Structure 1
Amino acid sequence: MRNAIIRCLFYGSLTFGIWTALLFIYLHHNHVSNWQKKSHEPLSAWSPGKKVHQQIIYGSDQIPKPHVIVKRTDEDKAESTLGMDFNHTNPELHKELLKYGFNVIISRSLGIEREVPDTRNKMCLQKHYPARLPTASIVICFHNEEFHALFRTVSSVMNLTPHYFLEEIILVDDMSEVDDLKEKLDYHLETFRGKIKIIRNKKREGLIRARLIGASHASGDVLVFLDSHCEVNRVWLEPLLHAIAKDPKMVVCPLIDVIDDRTLEYKPSPVVRGAFDWNLQFKWDNVFSYEMDGPEGPTKPIIWMCGGQLFIIPCSRVGHISKKQTRKTSAIISATIHNYLRLVHVWLDEYKEQFFLRKPGLKYVTYGNIRERVQLRKRLGCKSFQWYLDNVFPELEASVNSS
C-alpha cells in the first residue's frame, strides 16, 4: 500500500512538472512572437515636433538584404492595365494627368515595384566589370511627385544595384504638399532602413539647389542624380562607375529608355545622344551608324568645353516617364528666361545672335550679373563655342540659317 502511494505521488509530480514545463514554453513562445512582430513592424520616421527640414538618417548596421523581384506571369502582366484599351476619356484620368503629367491610375495599379524588360544590347551581356569600383550616392529630388512613381524609383535602385556599390540613397523633399509624401513615405522606406536618408527642405529651392543640398549630405565616391519618376534596369550602375574609375573627370549618363506617360509601358530607346537647337530646347538626336563602327559597336560610349568629357554609356539603361507639360506659371516662365539669357551670354560667344534671331523679344531683357560665371570660364580654360561646334556638334552649325 505504501509503495502504491509513493508511485502515485511520483507519477503525479512528474505529470505536474511536465505540464508546467509545457505551459512555460507555450507562454514564452507567445511572448517572443509578439516581441518579434512589434520589433519588425516599420516605424514611422515622422516626428510631430519637426514639421520641416527633417533629416532622417538610419544606422549603417541595419542594412537590408537584397530582395528578389518575383517574376510576374503573363496573366499578372495583363492585369496591370498596361494595354492600349484604357479609357482615356475617364474624367479622373484627365484630372490626374493635369496634376502629375502621366497616368496615375495605372501607376497606382502597378504598385511600388515591378520588373521591367532587359533592354540592353546583347553585347552588353558579355561585358564584365571589376568587383572593386567607386561607391555611389544616389540623389533623388522630388516635389509633389506621385507616391508610387517615386517609390518605384527607389525600389528599382535598391533591387537592381549591388549593395557594396550603393553607399546610400538621398531623398530631398523640396517642400512637397502631398500627404502621401510625408508619414506614408517614411513608413514604407523602413523596408530599406540603413540605406536611405531623407532631407526635407524648409522652403522650395528648385531642382538644382535641391540637388546641391542632397550632394552636400553624400558620403559616396560618386554622385548619381536621378529624377523621381525613373526605373533603373539591370546592371545599370556598374558601367557608369567603371567609366568614372578610368577617368574621374568624366561625366557619364545612361541611355534613357521611355516609360510611356499614358500606359506606363517600359520601351527600349535607340542609341541616341543629347542635343539642343538654337531655341535652347533639349532633344535627343540619333547616332549615325558610322559613329558606332568598331569592335564595341552600339555599346561604345558617345563623347560630348572645359577639359572634361561627357559620355552616354549605352550599356547602362534607365527608364524615364516623359511627363506631359502642365501649364507653366508666370514665375516658372520668368525663371526659365532668366536662365536662358545667362547661359547665352556666358557660353555662346558670337553665336548668341542665333538665339536672338529666334527670340528677338528677349534681346534687351535683363539677366543679372554674370561676371563671376565669365571669370570661372576663363579660369578653367574652357574652349570657345566655335570649338564646340567644330568638334562636338557640327550639326548645330549646319542649322544656322534654318528658322
Structure 2
Amino acid sequence: RKSFRTVIFAVLIIMRISCVKSLFPVLSVAVVFLYMSSVKWEIQTQEKHELKFKKKIAEENSLKEKNEKKPAKKLFPNSYLFKQWTVELSEDDQRKAEDLFQKYGYNAFLSDQLPLDRELPDTRDHRCIGREYPHNLPTLSVVLIYLDEALSVIQRAICSIINRTPAVFIHILLQICSFSFRAEPLLARIQAERTLVLSPVFDSVNYYDLQVTKYLASAHGFDWALWCIYVGFPQKWYDQNDSSQPGKSPSVMGILVVDRLFFGEIGTLDGGMEVYGGENVELGIRVWLCGGSIEIVPCSKIAHIERAHKPYMPDLRNVMKRNALRVAEVWMDEYKINVNIAWGLPIQNHGIDIGDVSERKKLREKLHCKPFKWYLENVYPELNPMHLLGYGVLINDLQTRLCLDKGPFEENTPILYPCHFMESQVISLLPSLLCIFKLNRCLIDPGSGRFPELSWSLLGKMLILVCFQGQAIQNRETKRCLEISADQTGKYEKNVFLQDCRNQHWKIQNIIQDL
C-alpha cells in the first residue's frame, strides 16, 4: 500500500514537470481519488484486523477465566485427608498433599506452608495466666524422640520450645517431637517433690488442617490391653473446684517431665520394649509401686499432632500385644491373666516372645516395690479385674470354621462369620452372661422373634450357658437354645437363631474355671 501511494505521487510530479497543463487538473483529481480510496481501504482493513485481534484476545481471556474458575478434579475422594480437608487444590498439589499424608500421617503439605513461629491459642485455665513461680527453678533438658516427622514440623517444634521457654531454664535441647509447653508449672512441681512424674495436658492438633482443638484436663489411664485412655481424676480434685490445680493420675501417656536423678533411680524406660506402646503404662505402674507418683499439670499445655496413621507401622496390634504381655509378666502378679484375656490369648503358654525380663524383675526386688494389688486398690480402682469363666471365640460343633460375630456395628443381631479371632468375635463368659468383650454388649433372648440380640442394657432375658463346656446355650426361662441352621444346599446360614433345642453344642476358646 505504501508503494501504491508512492507511485501516485510520482505520477503527479511527472505530470507537473511535463507541463501537460490541459490534462493535469483532470488527472490530478483522478489520482487524488485513487489515493483517497487506497487510504480508505487501508483504514477498513486495519479496522478488520483490530476487530479480529480483539475478538481473539477476548476469546482467550474468556477461556482462561473459564479454566481458572473450573475446579480441579478430585483425585482422592476416599482419602482420610481430603474427607476432612476441603480446600481447592490443583491436581499436582493434590498428589503432593496425598503423598506427604501417606508418608507422615498428617497434612505435611500444609505444614510446609505455615510459618515456623505460628501463634497458638492459649487454652489454659484463666487462673494459670499470671500465676507466679519461684525464680530459682531447676534447669530443663528436653529429650524427645521423633520418627518419620516432616522437617517443617520438627523446625516448628524447636521454635515453639525456644519461644515459650525462658532461656535460663533450657540446659540441653535434643531431638524434638511436635509439641510446645510452658516449663515453669512443671519445674515448680518437680522442685517441690523430686519423686513426681509430670505430664502436661494435651491439646489436639488436627492431622488434616493443623488447627488446635482444646482438650479438658483429664487423668491418664489404660485398659487391660494396655491401650491408653482418658479417665477422671480422684474425687478430691473435683471437690476443690479449681481446674488449674495438678491432679493425680494412674499413668502417663508418653510426654513427661521427671527429675533426671530420680528417673535413673527407678530404672528409666524399659529397653526391652519394641516400636510403640506399653512403655508409658509400664513407667506409670513402676513409678507408683516403687515410691513415686504421677500428676497431670493443667497449667502446662501441649499442642500435639494426632496422626491419622502411624507410617512406620500401619497395624500396631502385634507389637502392642507383645509389649503388654511383657509389662504384665514383670508388674501385674496374679492379675496378669487379665492382659491375656484382653488380647484373647490362653492364660498359659501364649506363645509370644516378650524378651528377657530377668533384669526388670531384679529391679523390682531392688526397689522394694509394692504388689500390683496395692496399685489397683489405692491408685486405679477403676481398672476392675475380670472375673470370667471363659473367653475367646465361640464355635458351634456343627461348623467349626465359623464363629459367633457381633455383625455390623449399626445392627444388634449377632451372626456367624468365618473365624478371624479378632475383637468382634472375642466373647467373655461370666456366670449367666455372654458378652462381646470390650464392647460391653451382651447376648440376650428378647422373648419374641427368632433372633437373639446384642444389648447394651441387661433388662432382657439373658442366655445362660448350661452345665459344662461343649453343651447347649439355653435360656432357662424361655427354654430356647442358641443354634445354627443350614439351607437346602447344606450351606450354613449367616444367622443364628433362638429355637427349640436340637442338642447343638458350643465351645468357647479358653476356659478359666470349670463350667
Please, what TM-score do these two structures have when normalized by structure 2? 0.47
Cross-structure match for 1:156: 160
The alpha carbon displacement at 1:336 in A equals 4.0
The alpha carbon displacement at 1:359 in A equals 1.9
Give distance in 2, aligned partners of 1:350 and 1:341. Answer: 13
Is residue 291 of structure 1 aligned with residue 237 of structure 2? yes
Cross-structure match for 1:203: none
Q: Which of 194, 202, 211 is 1:248 aligned to?
A: 194
- Residues 331 and 119 of structure 1, relative CA distance in 2, 3 Å threshold: closer
Is the partner of 1:283 in helix, strand or coil?
strand
The alpha carbon displacement at 1:231 in A equals 3.1
Cross-structure match for 1:358: 342
Structure 1: unaligned runs, 5 residues or longer: 1-82, 172-226
The alpha carbon displacement at 1:391 in A equals 1.2
The alpha carbon displacement at 1:390 in A equals 1.1
Give distance in 1, aligned partners of 2:332 and 2:214. Answer: 34
Is residue 282 of structure 1 aligned with residue 286 of structure 2? no
Question: In structure 1, what residue type is equivalent to 2:178?
Answer: H
- Residues 286 and 106 of structure 1, relative CA distance in 2, 3 Å threshold: farther
Question: In structure 1, what residue type is equivalent to 2:291?
Answer: G
- Residues 323 and 330 of structure 1, relative CA distance in 2, 3 Å threshold: closer
Q: Which of 368, 383, 386 is 2:370 aligned to?
A: 383
Alignment map for 1:338-377 (pairs within 5 Å): 338-361=322-345, 363-377=350-364
Is the partner of 2:384 in helix, strand or coil?
helix
1:243-299 superposed Cα distances (whole Å, 9 cap, x missing partner): 00011111111111111111101122101111111111112224477632226x112
The alpha carbon displacement at 1:341 in A equals 1.9
- Residues 238 and 356 of structure 1, relative CA distance in 2, 3 Å threshold: same
Query: May I ask how many residue pairs the two structures share in their alignment?
Result: 262
Structure 2: unaligned runs, 5 residues or longer: 1-83, 250-288, 389-436, 439-515
CA contact (8 A) 1:153 1:230 kept: yes
Q: Alignment RMSD, CA only?
A: 2.6
Is the partner of 1:375 in helix, strand or coil?
helix
- Residues 386 and 269 of structure 1, relative CA distance in 2, 3 Å threshold: same
Is the partner of 2:198 in helix, strand or coil?
strand
CA contact (8 A) 1:292 1:300 kept: no
Is residue 231 of structure 1 aligned with residue 180 of structure 2? yes
Identity rate, percent? 29
Cross-structure match for 2:210: 264
1:210-253 superposed Cα distances (whole Å, 9 cap, x missing partner): xxxxxxxxxxxxxxxxx612233xxx100000000011111111
CA contact (8 A) 1:135 1:165 kept: yes
The alpha carbon displacement at 1:340 in A equals 2.2
Give distance in 2, aligned partners of 1:99 and 1:386. Answer: 43
- Residues 331 and 281 of structure 1, relative CA distance in 2, 3 Å threshold: closer
Cross-structure match for 2:107: 103
CA contact (8 A) 1:98 1:326 kept: no
The alpha carbon displacement at 1:102 in A equals 0.4
Higher relative contact order (CA 8 A, sep 6+): 1
Question: In structure 2, what residue type is equivalent to 1:112?
Answer: L
Larger helix fraction of residues? 1
Give distance in 1, aligned partners of 2:144 and 2:121. Answer: 23
1:20-45 superposed Cα distances (whole Å, 9 cap, x missing partner): xxxxxxxxxxxxxxxxxxxxxxxxxx
Alignment map for 1:313-328 (pairs within 5 Å): 313-326=297-310
Is the partner of 2:207 in helix, strand or coil?
coil
Is the partner of 2:103 in helix, strand or coil?
helix
